[in-house]
Amino acid sequence: MLYYIILSIVVYLLHDYFEVMHLHLPFDTISALSTALAIFLGFKNNNAYDRWWEARKIWGLLVNYSRAWTRQVVTMIIATDPTDPEEAKAVKEFQKQMIYRHMGFVHALRVFLRRRHDYNETKIREIYEEENDYADARSFLAPKEFQLFCHKNNPPNYLLELQGEDLKRAYEKGWLSDFRFMKLEESLVEFNNIQGKSERIKNTPFPRQYSFFSRVFVFIHASLLPFVFIEELGWVSMPISVIISFVFLCLDLVGERSEDPFENRLEDVPLTDISLTIETNVKEQWGNKDFPEKKRVEGVVF
């Protein structure tokens, strides 16, 4: 913006104030470029928003399947002899382990997706960045599990593997029938699908040519604006050209900030908020009233 402000002032001084040079360009020059640039930015922003919205829908599914998983664990894992207090207690502990490990999976998936790739690193200093480590999953896992979990290449997938192994043990003990085992396994597959869909967005960057050339086109367009308006508007061309430049710069930046929804930025899909919603819902289903508090920074919910 500083460059565009200085450019518009220099053009005005040379053309109108000092009358040193004739710097006028015909209006048709900028109108054709403006139309092409608007179409290009519209295409880019639409596709960037589609990526953001798909990510939000995927995590909406995670909310739904988390509630279903909790209900299935509570209602489908049944002791072979309900009158045996020892077995009933063992089943209760097993259910709690499965439910709490799932909450650990949700928090782990959030952290895993927010790890930045080198090609997404920018020089922009974010207004706020939340701490991104696996500490939030510690309270939901056994100490030994957490130690192994932290050293895995794909920690969320490791937790799903543990869930599957425990389901197999429950089936061998007779706590699950064939049908109930299959239904719970289907829910685990859905969690695999949710993670896979999220990783597809995370690991497939928006084509770099759209980001690069949109920046180039905006620069060319904004650089020509003062030369187009100077003849007819005089000094008014300075604020007009700067305002129009600002609009196109914002359009370009909106797309750039929306195309990668898992980068731990303010504009991203609110993974922390969704994770805490899932934790609250699952704890309520289990009967635990120790709900987490939403994280707030200066009145903004993340």
How far is 26 from 266, CA to CA, in rounded Å? 41
Q: What is the pLDDT of residue 302?
A: 46
Q: What is the pLDDT of residue 257?
A: 87
The whole model's pTM is what?
0.88
Q: Report, as ranges of residue numbers, the positions in the chain whose pLDDT lies below 70.
A: 119, 123, 296-302
Q: What is the pLDDT of residue 288?
A: 93
Query: 3-class DSSP state for residue 296?
Result: strand
Distance of CA 136 to the CA centre of its chain: 18
Q: What is the pLDDT of residue 298?
A: 59
Nearest to 136 by CA among 269, 299, 278, 262: 278
Q: What is the pLDDT of residue 25?
A: 77
Residue range 193-218, pLDDT digits in tens: 999 999 999 999 888 888 888 999 99
Residue range 2-18, pLDDT digits in tens: 999 998 998 888 887 77
How far is 206 from 225, CA to CA, in rounded Å? 29
Contact 187, 72 (CB under 8 A): yes
CA 10 to each of CA 19, 25, 42, 235, 237: distance values in angstroms, whole numbers, following the listed order: 11, 15, 31, 11, 11
Residue with tokens 């050293």: 151
Which helix (H) or strand (E) is 301 found in, with range? strand 300-301
Residue 165: how many other CB atoms lie within 10 Å? 10
Q: What is the pLDDT of residue 60?
A: 97
Residue range 73-110, pLDDT digits in tens: 999 999 999 889 999 999 999 999 999 999 999 999 99
Residue 138, CB half-sphere, CA atoms under 13 Å: how many?
5
Residue 66, CB half-sphere, CA atoms under 13 Å: how many?
30
Read off the amino acid at residue 136.
D
CA 107 to each of CA 46, 58, 61, 89, 288: distance values in angstroms, whole numbers, following the listed order: 29, 15, 15, 27, 18
Contact 65, 191 (CB under 8 A): yes
- Scanning 114-207, the segments in alpha helix (DSSP H) are 143-150, 155-172, 178-203
Nearest to 46 by CA among 172, 206, 153, 198: 206
Residue range 214-223, pLDDT digits in tens: 999 999 999 9
